[in-house]
Structures are given as structure tokens and as C-alpha cells.
A = this chain, B = another copy of it.
Amino acid sequence: MSPRTPEQFEEIRESRREQIMETALKVFASEGYANSSISKLAEAAGISKGLMYNYFNSKEELLKEILEKGMKEILNLTDPDRDGIITPSELDEFIRKTFRIMRRKQEFWILYFNIILQPKVRESLKGTSVLTGTEEYFSMLMKYFESNGFEDPVLEVLTITSMIEGLGVLMLYAYPVMTIPETVLLKFEERVLKMIKQPEHE
């Protein structure tokens, strides 16, 4: 039993942080940020209230880190080389990946929309990668449409993103009236892809 090295400590610490963030995201998404007390979060993570503050300085910091981490993952997936540029050959994959993330990270989206829709709260996120990440995403699309000769790039970005975000919102409150079958989701994705390539339908 040799004593743990500093690296090992750091590793343990990091995995604890991740575990807390994961369980906290679940609670935030289902109860809402304001209704998720530190007690609840600690219990969900299986640790004590006090220890929470060993890992995060405040509830707000915890929230920010969760949002930043999620946003980073998304950008890493959609723009792996982080050059902020999409080439025509990458576009298809870009859209497909976005849809895949929408489906996989539902909890993150619920939280994201909740926070982003509260102007006063959103302000406190200024400068964090949560907002810059979103801007980056839009900006990548803008550049693509601009540099590929589309007549009205803003309209194209709006079309794409509204369909993506709209789908996100719809999936988030899956009404009994209309649960979306997987096959329809795939067709919907294709429809979006086609739209990008054939703006000449106008």
C-alpha cells in the first residue's frame, strides 16, 4: 500500500467532479435549476452537502461548469478540428452529428433552454463558453453559406437552426398526442439535409 501520488489524487478528484456534474444535470433537468437544492444534489451524488463545496465554490459555478462542459462536447463533436470552418464535404456529417447530439443529450438541452431563456440569468453567463459556443455554432454555418454562394445566408442559417432547435424543443416535451417515431426522425433529418443542398427550390 504505497501512498497515493498527487496524480492519483488529482484523478480521483476529477472523477468525483464528473460524477457530481452528471447527477446534478439529471436533477436540474427534471426539477429545474431553482428547485434543485444543494441537499438534493448532494444526495443524488451520494455525498454530503459540505463536500459539494469542496468541489464547486457555489451552486452557480456548478451550473456553469455543467453547461460549459456540455457545450464543449458538442463543439468537439461537430467541429473536431476547432477551426470554425465547415467545408461542403463536411456539412452533411455536421448536420447528422448535431441531430445525434440532440437525441443523446436531452437532459443537457432541457437545462440549456431553461437557462438561456431567462435573460437575467443568461447575462451571468456572458463570456463563458456557453454563449460563445452558441455563437461559434451559428457563425460556422453563416460562413459556410456565405462562402458557398447562397443568396440569403441568414435565411439559410435560420432555416437550419430553427429546424434543429425546434426539433429539440419538441422532443423535450414529447406529448402523448404525438410521440415522434425513429423513422420519422430519420426522414426529418434527410429533409433538412436536402434543404441545404437545394436552395434552388426557391
Contacts and interface: CB of A to CB of B under 8 A. Distances in A.
Interface string A158-187: 110111111111101101111011001001
Contacts of A187: 152, 155
**Copies of this chain:** 4
B32 A184 contact: no
B173 A120 contact: no
Size bin of chain A's contact surface: 35 or more
A interface majority secondary structure:
helix
Interface string A29-67: 111111100000000000000000000000000000000
Interface stretch (A73-81, A85-93, A132-140): A132-140
A166 B161 contact: yes
B169 A134 contact: no
Nearest to A185: B158
Contacts of A163: 159, 162-163, 166
Contacts of A166: 161-169
A187 to B, nearest CB: 5
Given A110-B118, A162-B166, A165-B170, 16 more contacts: A31-B119, A32-B117, A34-B34, A35-B121, A110-B117, A122-B173, A135-B175, A138-B175, A155-B184, A155-B187, A158-B167, A162-B169, A165-B169, A169-B169, A191-B202, A201-B201
